[in-house]
Amino acid sequence: MDIAILAPASVLVLWSLIMLFWMAGARLPAAKKLGIDIAAKPGGRGPDFDAQVPENVAWKSHNYTHLMEQPTLFYATVMILAIAGGGHGLNLYLAWGYVILRILHSVWQATINLVNFRFLLFLASTICLLIMAINALWITLF
């Protein structure tokens, strides 16, 4: 098993938790400032709250959601590569590239959030993941 490729996956897990705390740290004071009692309405969800807070507060929530979407494919791909012995060389560099680009994407979306550049970060990270996924398929088939 190539465990080196598990390091970038571990970093992305930790980064996702950092984004969770950043989101909460932005949302809770915003709710208090707006006089929103988060305990008043049973069954409330985060997206319901986003419409009531300033956009720059909601951006953190949007990014946290993004970190729960495509990165799940990254984690699966990393596990396949690690188990199949493909977690080194190019795949390892691609995994680190993916994580670095996703962290940059998070910071950009949570602060500046101009979509044109954010999309380029997303596209670049997706290309890293695509190549890793193709390599994982190749390793497992041949």
Tens-place pLDDT, residues 52-83: 899 999 999 999 999 999 999 999 999 999 99
100, 110, 124 from 86: Cα distances, Å: 20, 33, 21
- Give the integer Cα–Cα distance in Å for 67 and 17: 10
CATH 1.20.120.550 applies to domain 3-141: yes
Report which DSSP code applies to 44: -
Taking the model in full, what pTM does it have? Answer: 0.94
Tens-place pLDDT, residues 80-94: 999 999 999 999 999
How many residues in the chain?
142
Break the chain into its structural domains and give their ranges: 3-141
Q: Which of 45-49, 61-65, 90-94, 97-101 has the lowest mean pLDDT?
A: 45-49
- Give the integer Cα–Cα distance in Å for 113 and 71: 19
